[in-house]
Structure 1
Amino acid sequence: MVVIGVALVGLLKIMQFRITENLQQKIFVRSSFEFAYRFPKIKFSELHNQYPPELANRFFDTLTVQKGFSKLLLDISGAALQIFFGIVLLSLYHSFFIFFGIILLLLLYLIFRINFNLGLQTSLKESKYKYKIAHWLQEIARNHLSFKSNAIFNFSLHKNDKLVSEYLKQRENHFQVLLKQFIQLTGFKIIITAGLLIIGGLLVINQQMNIGQFVAAEIIILSIITAVEKLFSGLELFYDVLTSLEKLGSVVDMELEEDIQNSNYLVDKNKITIETENVAFQYPKSDKEILKNLNISIQPKQHTLILGENGSGKTTLLRLLARLIEPTSGSIFINNTNYKKYSSDEYRSKIGIITAHEMPFEGTILENITCNNPEIKMDTVFELIEKLKLTEAIKALPKGLDTQISSEGKQINSSTIQKIVLARCIINQPKLLFLENPLDKSDEESCKEIIDFLNEEKHPWTLIVISKNKHWKQICKQTILLEKGEIKAI
């Protein structure tokens, strides 16, 4: 029977181990896909004052939830069962122990309830400064060349010192809550142990219990107290898991773009007209309109250049037309239909866009151009890189198109990076092409040749571009001049 019991316990442990591993895998997969799905679809207003790469750091809290949740699940359930069955067993020795069980559970609840809110608040504050430090280190790494300057280097250390000092302060505050709970638990153990010894002794003296029952009861009481200690030893992990869930929630709870599901409206593949009617835009928490009373019309395959001084609203207008942001007031029409009638997926499937400071993602050059689209043939890729003057730059790399590049493509010059991004933008032959300074880092001659290529009649796109390059004026049939958010001339 003993051998069978040991084998059964071992089998249950193995099953338990498998279940917790499955839970950890599911938590990780769910969390990664939540982040990957949500970041491109989060409303612009939600990210206006946020730095998305810093928000992405919240994903690392998944690891705490993974390990912490499974450990708490085992420890709490085990300790809770031990306490429950211990109290049930004690009640068989004497009815007094039923009263003892109620008092025990009540005291445990009070100790936990009194400290819970403060413990969670201090844990959240500690976590907040942990992420501030991580973000500052990320900023130092991102600008490591600038921080080589002695003055800026000293500033980075001073700021890090300030953040770490605040983190230690919040960490100490959280530790004080944990220490307070531990002191309360110690006092609880002393009172329960002393009370049970006194009352148990009186029950023996009054012959309501025998010595054997008293000793057995004390052993059970000790096992209950051990289970209580196990519960409280996991409190720090409990707070960490709750804090991690809150941090993950700070991303997961961000409002997503509103979209029409199963819309019957489809963008015409061959003819796309864009019109705006009294369009205005105002950034969140700003009291000034960036754009106001815009009325423009862009005909199919018409090339339009947007000009204006810095701050005139060029970038904002481009993003409005590309539906990256929504107008504060007014309407935008695609083929005489309000573009909100089209699902964003349907509309964006027809466009290609390059915004300011667009960078490649980590992967091979080929992946950056094709995004592993199986419908794109290699002949198309080779033809495109030739037209964009990329052939020589790629031939100079030992692995050619299979060269691995970093997220900012630092091992490749900036003009090549811009051309790779442009290739990715146009390889799927979009019907609407939105370009913001797409070739400002290329030399004049290659820039002119690429612009001429983009202007060829065979291409299907309507082109809207922001650039100070004079050659765009020669190929664009319409120029929109903005001044302080209003149209000065068309």
Structure 2
Amino acid sequence: MAKKIITAWQRLIRMLKLDKKDVRQVFYYAIFAGLVSLTLPLGIQAIINLIQGAQVTTSWIILVILVTLGVAFQGALQLMQIRIIENIQQKIFTRSSFEFAYRFPKIKMSELRNFYPPELANRFFDTLNIQKGISKLLIDFPTALLQIIFGLLLLSLYHPFFIAYGILLLGLIYVVFKYTITKGLETSLLESKQKYKVAHWIQEVARCIVSFKLSGKTSHALEKNDYLTEGYLKARENHFRILVLQFIQMVGFKILVTGGLLIIGGLLVLNQEMNIGQFVAAEIIILLVISSVEKLIVGLESFYDVLTALEKLGQVVDMEIEPQQKDLELLDQEDFKVELDTITYSVPDRQKPILDGISLQINPKDRILIRGTNGAGKSSVLHLVSGLIEPTKGNIFVNGVRLKAENLNHFRSKVGQSLKLETPFEGTLLNNITFNDTTIPKEDILWALEVTGLSHIVREMDNGLDTMIFPEGKQISYTVAKKIVLARSLVKRPKLLVLRDPLDQFDAEEADRIMDYLTHPDRPWSLMVVSDDPKWVTRCGRIINLADGKILNNE
């Protein structure tokens, strides 16, 4: 089933609907502020008519007070708008952060196949563009449009000719946006895409900093950055041309408003169809309309930034996640019996399936070693058994129950994995092992540390289990990082252990000790391991050989 394409406009409307009560309040205040702003020209008109009498009157004093209070009231309305907008901005940031934190662990692995997740996570920074632009979108734009409409309506009261003139000007504004806004959004999206390409390349250089240091006199980092930056500048220039076009059109609008109304107003005064007070009031209204047009011009870039940011966030939010239905427990027996029934696994960019109709049964306390050449499908078997990916065809059964969305999380909680994809994350050592699961007994944590050989390392750390670990375990050795991942897989005393080269680069003596412990018949788990280490052969009761996605033998 094809995915439904959501436009940037639809994303904007959806976002505003989440805070529709606050948005309505902002619009109400904008309407009131627009109406109150008209008291200034009307009040000045009346004041001019009064002071022409060359006397200080009570009416004049009252009008001055009312106009001043009107300005103060308008300021109070704007202050309330700013407070509401701040609340909306905070909600946008909060929702966006939780959306990303919730979705990333649940996005289907098939969706991420052609993406680099850390680079996708950078889309979160577009939330800041939405926060910055939403104030202009909800305050400046509505206020400017209302002031233009109210101003032209007020002018129409002075003479019927202003009605036709106002309709003409509103039509011009509509035409300006109608025929340029789509192109403006397209160029803004292209500019953003090029911007992220530059950011991703800089991130890659930083990630592979040692490789670039050791590359000698090569200037590949600069050459590619030059190429990508040139692409960004071209895209930005194309977007700027649209902004310039809209700016020119809006300037033309200002010229028509200014020239037309000055000429019309002057002729009406000369023909004694308007008095001086009305003429001055009309000019003040003209200034308000021109100021509003300038707000629209200046705010266009922010408008495009918001729509573009929503589109970039949508690239992550639109990714299909695993169904999050009510979690049903599998038959929670003492042991797991896992069966792969005629499993085929394919990916779009490969003609032949990675796994082709394999069937496999993992019995309680099995010790299984999977071997095969590179590309045989060994890792894919582990990912399927772990519930990390879904088979293209066939089914996986656990204790006779088909593994599906309703019981997937429960199954994963009973499986311990140490895969190549797993690394330490930024957090304390304890968090890295337990994922902050406070239900895990301290005895199990100490046991996992002892089994993996981390106990003496933790004792040497000043902060023990509270020691901070950098992303991917940057400040610790490769083997310690592997031990942390292995301890993570053991700490919940799983029913099934799925391991990929778990003891790679370990000292021989320590590797033998851990290997003996994991494969001992008294251990309660089933074990499935992929490794080229021949020492596993004598310790595993079953050896499965894979080639070209098929099982050659199951000894």
Query: Shorter-chain TM-score category?
Result: over 0.9
Partner of 1:63: 128
1:181 counterpart = 2:246: yes
Preserved contact between residue 418 and residue 441 of structure 1 (Cα < 8 Å): no
Partner of 2:137: 72
Partner of 1:160: 225
Change (3 A) 1:10 1:222: closer
The match for 2:264 among 171, 178, 199 is: 199
Q: Which residue identity is paired with 1:255?
A: E
Preserved contact between residue 364 and residue 404 of structure 1 (Cα < 8 Å): yes
Partner of 2:94: 29
Note the alpha carbon deviations across 1:162-218, whole angstroms, 9 max, x for none.
101111111111111111111111122212322222322333333332333223212
Preserved contact between residue 129 and residue 305 of structure 2 (Cα < 8 Å): yes
Preserved contact between residue 129 and residue 166 of structure 1 (Cα < 8 Å): yes
Preserved contact between residue 303 and residue 478 of structure 1 (Cα < 8 Å): yes
Partner of 2:316: 251
Structure 1 SS opposite 2:368: strand
Deviates more, 1:16-25 or 1:174-183: 16-25
Change (3 A) 1:94 1:458: farther
Note the alpha carbon deviations across 1:84-115, whole angstroms, 9 max, x for none.
22122212212222222211211111111121
Preserved contact between residue 361 and residue 406 of structure 1 (Cα < 8 Å): yes
1:126 counterpart = 2:191: yes
Q: Aligned partners of 1:188, 1:7: CA distance in 2, in Å?
A: 30
Structure 2 SS opposite 1:296: strand
Preserved contact between residue 129 and residue 163 of structure 1 (Cα < 8 Å): yes
Preserved contact between residue 365 and residue 524 of structure 2 (Cα < 8 Å): yes
Structure 2 SS opposite 1:145: helix
The root-mean-square deviation of aligned C-alpha atoms, in Å, is 1.9
Preserved contact between residue 266 and residue 342 of structure 1 (Cα < 8 Å): no
Q: Normalising to structure 2: TM-score of the pair?
A: 0.84
Q: Aligned partners of 1:483, 1:132: CA distance in 2, in Å?
A: 38
Q: Aligned partners of 1:251, 1:285: CA distance in 2, in Å?
A: 21
> By how many angstroms is 1:11 displaced?
4.1
The match for 2:416 among 312, 328, 352 is: 352
Q: Aligned partners of 1:342, 1:200: CA distance in 2, in Å?
A: 73
Partner of 1:451: 515
1:285 counterpart = 2:359: no
Note the alpha carbon deviations across 1:131-178, whole angstroms, 9 max, x for none.
001100110001101101355750111000110111111111111111
Note the alpha carbon deviations across 1:274-295, whole angstroms, 9 max, x for none.
1122211111232111111211
Structure 2 SS opposite 1:463: strand
> By how many angstroms is 1:256 displaced?
1.5
The match for 1:302 among 346, 358, 366 is: 366
Partner of 2:495: 431
Deviates more, 1:419-428 or 1:266-275: 266-275
Q: Aligned partners of 2:215, 2:293: CA distance in 1, in Å?
A: 54
1:336 counterpart = 2:415: no
Preserved contact between residue 322 and residue 405 of structure 2 (Cα < 8 Å): no
Preserved contact between residue 328 and residue 410 of structure 2 (Cα < 8 Å): no
> By how many angstroms is 1:332 displaced?
1.8
Preserved contact between residue 62 and residue 244 of structure 1 (Cα < 8 Å): yes
Q: Aligned partners of 2:528, 2:411: CA distance in 1, in Å?
A: 16
Where does 1:134-145 land on structure 2 (aligned, <5 Å)?
134-145=199-210
1:377 counterpart = 2:405: no
The match for 1:240 among 283, 295, 305 is: 305
Change (3 A) 1:471 1:342: farther
Preserved contact between residue 330 and residue 399 of structure 2 (Cα < 8 Å): no
Partner of 1:387: 451
Q: Aligned partners of 2:83, 2:284: CA distance in 1, in Å?
A: 33
Q: Aligned partners of 1:265, 1:416: CA distance in 2, in Å?
A: 34
The match for 2:384 among 286, 308, 320 is: 320
Preserved contact between residue 352 and residue 432 of structure 1 (Cα < 8 Å): yes
Deviates more, 1:48-57 or 1:450-459: 450-459
Q: Which residue identity is paired with 1:452?
A: D
Partner of 1:210: 275
Preserved contact between residue 146 and residue 152 of structure 1 (Cα < 8 Å): no
> By how many angstroms is 1:418 displaced?
0.4
The match for 1:273 among 337, 356, 363 is: 337
Change (3 A) 1:46 1:448: same
Q: Aligned partners of 2:394, 2:365: CA distance in 1, in Å?
A: 24
Structure 2 SS opposite 1:234: helix
> By how many angstroms is 1:404 displaced?
1.1
Change (3 A) 1:153 1:409: farther
Structure 2 SS opposite 1:435: strand
Q: Normalising to structure 1: TM-score of the pair?
A: 0.95
Structure 1 SS opposite 2:341: strand
Q: Which residue identity is paired with 2:433?
A: I
Q: Aligned partners of 1:243, 1:182: CA distance in 2, in Å?
A: 20
Structure 2: give runs of 5+ residues left out of the alignment.
Answer: 1-64
Note the alpha carbon deviations across 1:465-485, whole angstroms, 9 max, x for none.
111222322232211110111
Change (3 A) 1:348 1:440: same
Deviates more, 1:212-221 or 1:133-142: 212-221
Q: Which residue identity is paired with 2:353?
A: E
> By how many angstroms is 1:6 displaced?
6.0
Partner of 1:229: 294
Q: Aligned partners of 2:227, 2:314: CA distance in 1, in Å?
A: 27
1:399 counterpart = 2:488: no
Deviates more, 1:123-132 or 1:322-331: 322-331
Structure 2 SS opposite 1:176: helix
Structure 1: give runs of 5+ residues left out of the alignment.
Answer: none
Q: Which residue identity is paired with 1:35?
A: F
Preserved contact between residue 144 and residue 296 of structure 2 (Cα < 8 Å): yes
Deviates more, 1:367-376 or 1:200-209: 200-209
Q: Which residue identity is paired with 1:387?
A: V
Structure 2 SS opposite 1:307: strand
> By how many angstroms is 1:427 displaced?
0.5
Identity in percent? 53
Q: Which residue identity is paired with 1:130?
A: K
Q: Aligned partners of 2:69, 2:150: CA distance in 1, in Å?
A: 22
Change (3 A) 1:222 1:238: same
The match for 1:466 among 530, 533, 550 is: 530
Note the alpha carbon deviations across 1:307-362, whole angstroms, 9 max, x for none.
11111100011111112111111222222232127432222222122221421000
Preserved contact between residue 23 and residue 70 of structure 1 (Cα < 8 Å): no
Deviates more, 1:475-484 or 1:337-346: 337-346
Partner of 2:5: none
